Amino acid sequence: METLKLLQTRFSEKKLVEPAPSRAELNEIFKAALRVPDHGSLKPYHFYVVEGQEQLQKLSDLMLDCCRELDLPEKFQDKAKKFATRAPQVIVVVAKIDPNHKKAPAWEQLVTAGCATYATQVAANALGYDNVWITAKWVQGTAIRAHFNCEADDQIVAFILSGTAKERKEREDKKLNYLDDYVTYLD
């Protein structure tokens, strides 16, 4: 699909089934993610690809642990229990933050990790796949942070649920109707 059209019509899909991007396709996707703007060329992110029932179930169990640790309401526990069945692949994006970097403060590094997440989503879309970026409060849980090797200042910024939409929505650009609310030209 034409690049501009893809960017203008991107949307999330939450009901995801097989197929998900293959290893070779993921390599192409991550090559796109690694080209996002990056003050200081720090590459302040790491991607973990979680696939297969065993690993997805492990992640679901960890989420449940974190719900208990953080005393999250029942609805989060229900979501955690169902997590392993939500998508065939989950791409976890961890912002690897150096709080003492001279040029790029922590917030800039976090923004770069966010850009890398978005680039991952859109690159997968360009290959014909669908996804949704979720987080939820369990990203602060001790067990999940440890599972993804988070150091003290690191932050899990995304679980990208990845696969193919069960029933793909039509692409539309209706969200471009209210540009004036978000854009001001100072001329």
Ligand X SMILES: Cc1cc2nc3c(=O)[nH]c(=O)nc-3n(C[C@H](O)[C@H](O)[C@H](O)COP(=O)(O)O)c2cc1C
Q: Which parts of this chain interact with ligand X (CB under 6 A)? A: 11-12, 132-136
Are 164 and 14 a contacting pair, CB within 8 Å? no
Q: By C-beta, is 37 or 102 nearer to ligand X?
A: 37
* Residue 5 burial (10 A CB sphere; 0-12, 13-18, 19+): exposed
Choose between 22 and 135: whose C-beta lies nearer to ligand X: 135
Tell me the closest approach of the beta carbon of residue 25 to ligand X, in angstroms.
21
Residue 176, helix vs strand vs coil? helix
Tell me whether residue 15 or residue 41 sits nearer to ligand X (CB atom).
15
40 versus 114: smaller Cβ distance to ligand X: 114
Say if residue 147 carries a ligand binding annotation: no
The answer to whether 161 touches 16, Cβ cutoff 8 Å, is yes
Least separation in angstroms between CB 26 and ligand X: 19
Q: Is 133 annotated as a binding residue?
A: yes
Report in angstroms how near the CB of residue 46 gets to ligand X at its nearest.
17
Element (H, E) at 132: strand 130-134
Is 10 annotated as belonging to a binding site?
yes
Angstrom distance (rounded) from CA 78 to CA 29: 31
Residues in contact with 182: Cβ distance below 8 Å, sequence separation at least 6, in sequence order: none
Distance of CA 84 to the CA centre of its chain: 16
Q: Closest separation between CB of residue 154 and ligand X, Å?
A: 15
Annotated binding site: 10-12, 35, 39, 133-135
Binding region for FMN: 10-12, 35, 39, 133-135
